[in-house]
Chain A
Amino acid sequence: MIKRLLAGVLVAGLATAAHAGDVMKMAVTTSFHNSGLAEVLLPEIKADLDLEVQLLVVGTGQALKLGRAGDVDAILVHSKAAEEAFVAEGFGTHRREIMYNDFVFIGPKDDPADLGAATTASDALQKIAGAKAVFVSRGDDSGTHKKELSLWRAAGIAEDGFGDWYKSVGAGMGAALNTASGIHGYILSDRASWLNFGNKGDLALLFAGDPVLFNQYAYLPVNPEKHGHVKAGLAEKLEGWLVSDRAKALINGYMIDGETLFVFNAE
């Protein structure tokens, strides 16, 4: 009796491996996943190409690392310099721009640093630093984190100018937003994550629109010359779909609360 039960569990457990249709793995950033766009695109890809794309949702740093190790077949991230290095080192065959969205400044509604009156992203950061208002940083080497650091540099504030008010939490977008909500801090977020965030509390969108805040997403297939097992054929098929008119319509048409999130710009 017991033996048969155990055998049953074992067989059921080990039989998971069997899978129908094509399957490939793609590493994407947390911010892309939080946007909810994947839930629109993946079923369409499945329907059009009979291809199941399994998403590994990680930071940009780890996504690139997964590609380097050959643990995924392609990556979709937003950190141009790191992507170009990835291709230059031969880990990716090429870099294909797909779409962009934008970053926004979030902060407490009462806005102690007066971000509402900022004119540029640099101006906004200078106001925060000037008021020594609490600022929450992802601090996780993600694309968003890298973007934030480059914005600080552009605003002329060096990292050693960060005081106690600068909180590096080492967490994903949602978790960092949770923290900002809890301690009434300012934070840089991608628009999609912000709109989908369920715990807004007394946080509000305070500044957006500076072109430096645009966030370009690119698709990079992992190089089969480095990792013979990667599914280069499937990655190519997926790329073809991502730059098609069909993808264009879906991406440009994706909205949350009546707001467009992404702009398709593949060539």
Chain B
Amino acid sequence: MTDLWSGLAQAFWLVVTLDAELVEISARSLQVSLTALVIASLIAMPLAALLAVRRFRWRRGVIAILNALMGLPPVVVGLVVYVMLSRSGPLGVLGLLFTPAAMIIAQIIIVVPLIASIAHQSLRDLWQEYHDLLISMNVSQWQKMKTLLWDARRALLTASLAGFGRAIGEVGAIMIVGGNIDHATRVLTTAIALETGKGDFALALALGFVLIGLAIAVNLAIHWLSRTEREGRW
């Protein structure tokens, strides 16, 4: 309990004094997770739309796999990415292991199934609604996907935010592929793991509070952005 209070107090001071190290790792957390989120969304959203509008042979299989992958253990993703990116692995020549790029790759793999599954559910519902109309208008496959993605954008935002939450709070995979190197690949979650390991629970908790605050702030910011956008249009 005392750890909790001193953690809160320490979090407060770290934030108000804009502690240089805190700012650095928070910025890196945001940078890594937002980059991963954008790339993952660019992959997951069109995939979800394709799965909604197109009837191909393996469609059900792909959906089932995506749903299963939603529960992918991050540690396993981390291990696989590690083995691929290691100098003695197939992609070793890229020299990406223990860099932020490796962390971004791992997070993309972790959040794509999540975003694609959630997005697919809302796009599928919308497609049921739109199906007859769009078919009768001879809309091309590509246009169908674009229409669904645009008209479901608020639901898709929710899917993205779920992905962001998973990405920024993830520690297992990025610890393995990033290596938690000070000033290079240390982010909030790996720093928390490190401080816990050192027995400094108060600092670990403080970082935890900052992480939660950051996640909430990003959520609010994106909702606020989307609201102003909606008011502008309608």
User: A residues engaging B (CB < 8 A)?
Assistant: 1-2, 5-6, 9-10, 12-14, 16-17, 25, 30, 34, 52, 54-58, 68-71, 171-175, 177-178, 181, 196-200, 227, 229
**B-chain residues with CB within 8 Å of residue A229 when the two chains form the complex:** 87, 95
**B-chain residues with CB within 8 Å of residue A56 when the two chains form the complex:** 98, 179-181
Closest CB-CB distance, A9 to chain B, in whole Å?
Answer: 5
Task: Give B198's nearest chain A residue, CB to CB.
Answer: A174
Given A172-B197, A198-B200, also A71-B104 (CB < 8 A): no
B115 close to A (CB within 8 Å) = no
**B-chain residues with CB within 8 Å of residue A178 when the two chains form the complex:** 196-197, 199
Closest CB-CB distance, A133 to chain B, in whole Å?
Answer: 21
Given A25-B98, A56-B181, A199-B199, also A13-B104 (CB < 8 A): yes
Bound complex: CA A59 to CA B184 (Å): 20
**B-chain residues with CB within 8 Å of residue A173 when the two chains form the complex:** 197
B128 close to A (CB within 8 Å) = no
Closest CB-CB distance, B229 to chain A, in whole Å?
Answer: 6
The answer to whether A199 touches B31, judged by C-beta atoms less than 8 angstroms apart, is no
Partner of A198 from the list B35, B104, B198 (CB cut-off 8 Å) is: B198
Bound complex: CA A17 to CA B99 (Å): 8
Q: Tell me the count of chain B residues lying within 8 A, CB to CB, of chain A.
A: 35
B209 close to A (CB within 8 Å) = no
Which 5 residue pairs are nearest across A and B when measured between Cβ atoms? A13-B35, A199-B199, A174-B197, A70-B87, A198-B199
The answer to whether A13 touches B86, judged by C-beta atoms less than 8 angstroms apart, is no
Closest CB-CB distance, A139 to chain B, in whole Å?
Answer: 15
Closest CB-CB distance, B161 to chain A, in whole Å?
Answer: 14
Given A56-B179, A57-B180, also A71-B199 (CB < 8 A): no
Closest CB-CB distance, B113 to chain A, in whole Å?
Answer: 21
Task: Give B32's nearest chain A residue, CB to CB.
Answer: A13
Given A69-B87, A197-B198, also A13-B98 (CB < 8 A): no
The answer to whether A54 touches B196, judged by C-beta atoms less than 8 angstroms apart, is no
Closest CB-CB distance, B84 to chain A, in whole Å?
Answer: 12
The answer to whether B201 touches A198, judged by C-beta atoms less than 8 angstroms apart, is yes
The answer to whether A10 touches B181, judged by C-beta atoms less than 8 angstroms apart, is no
Partner of B229 from the list A2, A10, A172, A175 (CB cut-off 8 Å) is: A2
B7 close to A (CB within 8 Å) = no
Closest CB-CB distance, B25 to chain A, in whole Å?
Answer: 14
